[in-house]
Amino acid sequence: MKTLCGLLVAAVAGQALGDCSAKFTFPDFSTTTDLTFVGTALASSDRIFLTSEGEGGAGAAWYTTSTAALTSGFTTSFRFLIENGQADGFAFVVQSYAPDALGGGGSDLGYAGIERSLAVEIDTFRFEDEFQVAHISVQSRGSAANDFQDSASLAHVVLPDNLEGEHTVKIEYTPGVMYVWLDENPVLFVPVNLDNIDESSVLDGGCAWVGFTAGAGAATADQTILSWDFNDFSQDECDPVQLGTGWYTSNPETGDRVELEWTVTGPGPIFYQWYQHEDIPLSDNERRLGSQTTKLIIDPWTPADAFAYDFGASNDCGGFRVSSFTPGIRCPGDLNYDGLVDDSDFIEFVPAYNNLVVPEADRRCDWNGDRFVDDADFLFFVSYYNNLLCE
């Protein structure tokens, strides 16, 4: 019997670890003996077609060799490709209803109607009753039948209107925290616990089926999954996490997108935390995303963000805390880069002030990061103007 990472995991997930476990990798889908296909879904050309061009309805592909042990969390990543249309979208789904579960087509994306389910939907078709724009959303009603409506969304983020080409999604979940990554960047934070959604659970004794669903209606597309890996931590052997390499955006100026990142290796579940100076743990907000994962993104960067950042990671077997990065900031108010904040910079500030909204207003003049260049920013400029010299 393998040594598990800590007594806490063994205590809270003992039943789940005895009844279920899932760790697998599909570099492609030339072999699909561990999968069950439902509805329009099928394997062809080493990939999963959840829906196909010219064919409406709904499809699902479930890993059915075993259910997954999800009480302690999981990580999963997959590559997808949508071609010949953008309708209607697909979802990664956790559900304890049935190994051949399938919801409705079209806007239902194959998951709506499935009881005891949570769906991370990549909704690529614009409908007025679905945030009115393409989006990623985490949808669940706990033990009740899932729904595609906005009211069932736990959190969402807007997507580009057209997701052409291949893309990669990564999902990290530990109880209370879920992050969705798109193409190597965290894009959505969701405070969620699979055992307590609307005072009910989507799990059955800590276990659930995992897989993909999709839907199409009058408009269709080839919605394909190219590769997939999944790990529920139940098979991980005890070992402390290890710090890898780190990097950050150097010499940023006001309005930039700033990224700070560390690589971390080790068995899960792993808990991450970014800190500002004076040992203050950070949380996500309108400008900050990734405070509890390996990459912290701040967009837009402001003078108030130019402090030292620490990073910590741990599992039940051990961890670390490292004083990591101090990105700083280019001299705020020096809009012509001459080392002074004077009348020539004020002349550059005025057009941004008149435009008001960033963009078209110059992002470098939005010193409080609220996407407006207004009186509040003018007061910031005055303080820089009074100092004159950049230091």
Please check whether residues 169 and 199 belong to one and the same domain: yes
Q: Is 337 among the domain residues?
A: no
| Run of H or E residues at 378 | helix 375-387
Q: What pLDDT, on the 0 to 100 scale, is given for residue 34?
A: 97
- Are the C-beta atoms of residues 226 and 30 closer than 8 Å to each other? no
Per-residue pLDDT tens listing for the chain (391 residues): 222 222 222 223 333 344 899 999 999 999 999 999 999 999 999 999 999 988 889 999 999 999 999 999 999 999 999 998 888 899 999 999 999 999 999 989 999 999 999 999 998 877 665 666 788 999 999 999 999 998 999 999 988 767 778 999 999 999 999 999 999 999 999 999 999 999 999 999 999 999 999 998 888 889 999 999 999 999 999 899 999 999 999 989 999 999 999 999 999 999 999 999 778 999 999 999 999 999 999 999 999 999 999 999 999 999 998 888 999 999 999 999 999 999 999 999 999 999 999 999 999 999 999 999 999 999 999 999 988 777 6
| Run of H or E residues at 90 | strand 89-95
Q: What pLDDT, on the 0 to 100 scale, is given for residue 127?
A: 65
Burial of 32 (0-12, 13-18, 19+ CB in 10 A): middle
The rounded distance, in Å, linking the Cα atoms of 139 and 192 is 11
3-state class (DSSP) for residue 350: helix
Q: Is 382 among the domain residues?
A: yes
Q: Record the pTM.
A: 0.90
Q: Is 158 among the domain residues?
A: yes
Please check whether residues 264 and 150 belong to one and the same domain: no
Q: Is 21 among the domain residues?
A: yes
Boundaries of domain holding 321: 242-325
Helix residue spans in the chain (DSSP H):
7-12, 14-19, 343-355, 375-387
Please check whether residues 217 and 283 belong to one and the same domain: no
Q: Is 254 among the domain residues?
A: yes
Q: What pLDDT, on the 0 to 100 scale, is given for residue 238?
A: 87
Whole-angstrom Cα Rg for the chain: 23
Q: What pLDDT, on the 0 to 100 scale, is given for residue 391?
A: 66
Per the rule left: phi > 0, alpha: psi between -120 and 50, beta: everything else, 239 is beta
Q: What pLDDT, on the 0 to 100 scale, is given for residue 323?
A: 84
With CA atoms as reference, report the closest residue to 85 among 134, 30, 119.
134
- Are the C-beta atoms of residues 77 and 169 closer than 8 Å to each other? yes
Query: In one letter, which amino acid is 238?
Result: C
Q: Is 100 among the domain residues?
A: yes
Tokens 């956790």 found at: 94
In sequence order, the 6+-apart residues with CB closer than 8 A to the CB of 383 are none
Please check whether residues 217 and 91 belong to one and the same domain: yes
Q: What pLDDT, on the 0 to 100 scale, is given for residue 91?
A: 97
Domain count, the chain: 3
Please check whether residues 145 and 272 belong to one and the same domain: no
Instruction: Determine the angle formed by the axes of helices 375-387 and 343-355, rounding to 10 degrees.
Output: 170
The pair of structure tokens assigned to 348 is 């550059």
Q: What pLDDT, on the 0 to 100 scale, is given for residue 335?
A: 95
Q: What pLDDT, on the 0 to 100 scale, is given for residue 54?
A: 86
Query: In one letter, which amino acid is 326?
Result: T
CATH at residue 288: 2.60.40.10
Please check whether residues 140 and 212 belong to one and the same domain: yes
The pair of structure tokens assigned to 31 is 């072999």
